[in-house]
């Protein structure tokens, strides 16, 4: 068994490094049967709270005994059969069971009982799905354009590449000790379209379409990340790669190896890839990657092909395949219940070719619907809930999990976000969508820095009491010329948000009172 802890320079290891050095998180995969038998209360605390995350199982202190299961959905694509399997898994938990579409084009299942895990994992395997290495110091779900293979203006179809990178990292979902002990979490995105659908700038590695000497491939940016302490947009690696498995998978492997062997394991707040790039400088980092690859990287193309505004894909759109369409449905704050999942699975089969896609905006797309099927599709009752023409603020709303399930949360997010967006949509006429992102704490899972208006949970003092509040972010730009927004106002009590956002929307986004 390959163990990969490589602390550098005898540095003092942080608490999590010690946990990993004692036992690789992936070892947990062989103990699941045992845990199911003894029950979570009898488990070793570190196994329960940390190591289970290596196989995607998250103990939730907010709902003890009801676990979250974070899947992997390469490129955000799944089949109706897979969605049905996931729907049945959460259905058995009644009111506790649901699923969230995440900001990484992924699904997280809720209400899961540990005693059911062996059976659930068997069902996932049968349906060719995995939750392997989806939490802690592993590579998160790999994102790609939700339009891959459908869009007439697409440059590179990323589906196979994303799958191949995932297979390399997880050993085809079986688990891969080579990459289960990184210094910190790691995000990879592969963009194939013109609109930067994946938010390339906020990933540790992102591939962005670019022509070099007339050949289409990718420029590579590295080091983008958000954390409570620091947020940075990715910077150019000064590398261009051709869109082949060897080049893309090989480069991911090389960068991950360099990060694994040289990234700092002392201070967890300073362990993401960008800290290593800072310490070394990008040239030394690139040389180390080249040494790992065994060849020199081609310098980047002068320009990339990201020249469109970001699309939200909500509505009905023709595909590049004549006579076929995709329908993007708005799922309020990404929350799905078993009946919705089973409905979506049925609709994908009846009207499309059985495929379902997810977006980083936490919405759902059903592709491959023939013209003749469209009218009946649009009469399906679920479209009243998952609208194809939601009001402007609800349309672009994104929210992290928040206090309902997440113990880091300083505020409740999803319900509050939705209620407020509905109230503001009622009160105001807006000439365009305004992208509001909620995140329950400074970890920034809801990406407030990419939003027009970002709201980050905090605690504030109001009338002598500590109440739930937010810090306000503005100026996030997505699509072409993407850049991060910044904090413009601190400590607004959530109860005061309606008037504050009303004024903000009138002054900055052309809203008019109804």
Count of residues in contact with ligand SRM, rule CB under 6 A: 32
**140 or 194: whose CB is closer to ligand SRM?**
140
**141 or 158: whose CB is closer to ligand SRM?**
141
Q: Computed over its alpha carbons, how large is the radius of gyration of the chain?
A: 22
Minimum distance from residue 360 beta carbon to ligand SRM (Å) = 7
Write each residue from 19 to 58 as x if it is in contact with ligand SRM (CB under 6 A), else as -, in one continuous string. Answer: ---------------------------------------x
Residue partners of 91: CB distance under 8 A and separation at least 6: 97, 338, 339, 342
Binding residues among 395-454 for ligand SF4 as defined by CB under 6 A? 400-402, 406, 408-409, 439-441, 443-446
**175 or 352: whose CB is closer to ligand SRM?**
175
For residue 335, the cross-strand partners are: 100
Q: Give residue number: closest CB to ligand SF4.
A: 440
Closest CA to 200 of 439, 437, 484, 497: 484
Q: Is 367 helix (H, G, I), strand (E, B) or coil?
A: strand
Known active-site residue 491 = no
What are the counts of helices (DSSP H) followed by strands (DSSP E) for the chain?
A: 15, 24
DSSP code per residue over 90-146: HHTTGGG-EEEE-TTS-EEEEEE-GGGHHHHHHHHHHTT-B-TT-SSSSB-PPEE-T
Binding residues among 74-103 for ligand SRM as defined by CB under 6 A? 100, 102-103
Minimum distance from residue 371 beta carbon to ligand SRM (Å) = 34
Check residue 63 for interaction with ligand SF4 (CB under 6 A): no
**54 or 58: whose CB is closer to ligand SF4?**
58
Active site residue: 135, 352, 354, 440, which one? 440
The pairing of beta strand 143-144 with beta strand 436-439 = unpaired
Question: What does residue 477 show for φ and ψ, rounded to 5 degrees?
Answer: -120, 130
- Can you tell me the distance from the alpha carbon of 69 to that of 227, in angstroms, rounded to the nearest whole number? 23
Active site residue: 20, 51, 60, 70, which one? 70
Sole binder of ligand SRM in the list 14, 75, 79, 108 (CB under 6 A): 108
**E strand or H helix at 226, and its extent?**
strand 225-226
Question: What does residue 474 show for φ and ψ, rounded to 5 degrees?
Answer: -145, 160
Known active-site residue 446 = yes
**443 or 502: whose CB is closer to ligand SF4?**
443
Closest CA to 455 of 406, 507, 504: 504
Distances (CA, A) of 289 to 167, 211, 284, 305, 455: 21, 22, 9, 25, 37
Binding residues among 180-239 for ligand SRM as defined by CB under 6 A? 184-185, 187, 202, 225-228
Known active-site residue 440 = yes
CB count within 10 Å of CB 147 equals 27
Which does residue 170 bind out of ligand SF4, ligand SRM, none, counting CB within 5 to 8 angstroms by kind?
none
Closest CA to 97 of 440, 342, 363: 342
The pairing of beta strand 67-70 with beta strand 57-58 = antiparallel
**220 or 406: whose CB is closer to ligand SRM?**
406
Minimum distance from residue 233 beta carbon to ligand SF4 (Å) = 19
Known active-site residue 94 = no
- Can you tell me the distance from the alpha carbon of 401 to that of 416, in angstroms, rounded to the nearest whole number? 11
Binding residues among 261-290 for ligand SF4 as defined by CB under 6 A? none
CA dihedral of residues 385, 389, 394, 397 (deg, nearest 10): 100
Minimum distance from residue 259 beta carbon to ligand SF4 (Å) = 22
Active site residue: 406, 441, 445, 494, which one? 445
Residues marked as catalytic: 70, 184-185, 440, 445-446
Residues that bind ligand SRM (CB under 6 A): 58, 60, 68, 70, 100, 102-104, 106, 108, 134, 140-141, 184-185, 187, 202, 225-228, 272, 400-401, 405-408, 443-445, 447
Residues that bind ligand SF4 (CB under 6 A): 400-402, 406, 408-409, 439-441, 443-446
């Amino acid at each position: 068994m390959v163990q990969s802890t490589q602390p550098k320079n005898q540095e003092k290891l942080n608490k999590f490094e010690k946990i990993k050095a004692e036992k690789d998180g992936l070892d947990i995969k062989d103990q699941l049967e045992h845990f199911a038998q003894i029950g979570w209360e009898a488990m070793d605390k570190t196994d329960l709270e940390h190591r289970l995350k290596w196989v995607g199982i998250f103990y939730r202190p907010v709902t003890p005994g009801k676990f979250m299961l974070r899947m992997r959905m390469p490129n955000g694509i799944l089949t109706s059969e897979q969605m049905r399997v996931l729907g049945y898994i959460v259905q058995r938990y009644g009111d506790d069971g649901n699923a969230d579409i995440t900001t990484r084009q992924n699904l997280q299942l809720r209400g899961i009982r540990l005693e059911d895990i062996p059976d659930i994992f068997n069902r996932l395997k049968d349906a060719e799905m995995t939750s392997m290495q989806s939490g802690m110091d592993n590579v998160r779900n790999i994102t790609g354009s939700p339009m891959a293979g459908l869009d007439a203006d697409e440059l590179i179809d990323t589906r196979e590449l994303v799958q191949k990178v995932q297979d390399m990292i997880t050993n085809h979902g079986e688990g891969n000790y080579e990459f289960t002990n990184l210094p910190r979490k790691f995000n990879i995105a592969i963009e194939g379209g013109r609109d930067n659908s994946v938010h390339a700038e906020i990933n540790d590695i992102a591939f962005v379409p670019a022509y070099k000497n007339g050949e289409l491939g990718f420029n590579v940016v590295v080091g983008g990340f958000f954390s409570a302490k620091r947020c940075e947009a990715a910077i150019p690696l000064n590398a261009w790669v051709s869109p082949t498995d060897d080049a893309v998978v090989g480069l991911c492997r090389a960068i991950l190896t360099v990060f694994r062997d040289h990234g700092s394991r002392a201070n967890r707040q300073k362990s993401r890839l960008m800290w290593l790039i800072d310490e070394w400088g990008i040239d030394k980092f690139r040389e180390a990657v080249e040494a790992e690859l065994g060849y020199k990287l081609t310098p980047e193309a002068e320009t990339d092909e990201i020249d469109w505004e970001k699309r939200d894909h909500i509505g009905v759109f023709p595909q590049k395949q004549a006579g076929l369409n995709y329908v993007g449905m708005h799922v309020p704050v990404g929350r799905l219940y078993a009946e919705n999942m089973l409905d979506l699975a049925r609709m994908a089969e009846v009207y499309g070719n059985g495929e379902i896609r997810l977006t980083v905006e936490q919405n759902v797309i059903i592709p491959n619907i023939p013209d003749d099927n469209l009218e009946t599709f649009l009469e399906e009752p679920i479209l009243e809930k998952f609208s194809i023409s939601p009001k402007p603020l609800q349309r672009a709303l994104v929210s992290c999990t928040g206090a309902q399930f997440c113990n880091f949360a300083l505020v409740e997010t999803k319900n509050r976000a939705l209620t407020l967006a509905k109230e503001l949509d009622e009160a105001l006429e807006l000439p365009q969508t305004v992208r509001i992102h909620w995140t329950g704490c400074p970890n920034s899972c809801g990406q407030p820095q990419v939003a027009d208006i970002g709201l980050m949970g905090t605690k504030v003092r109001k009338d002598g009491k500590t109440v739930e509040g937010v810090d306000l972010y503005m100026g996030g730009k997505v699509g072409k010329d993407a850049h991060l927004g910044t904090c413009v106002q601190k400590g607004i009590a959530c109860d005061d948000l309606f008037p504050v956002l009303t004024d903000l929307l009138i002054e900055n986004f052309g809203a008019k009172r109804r």
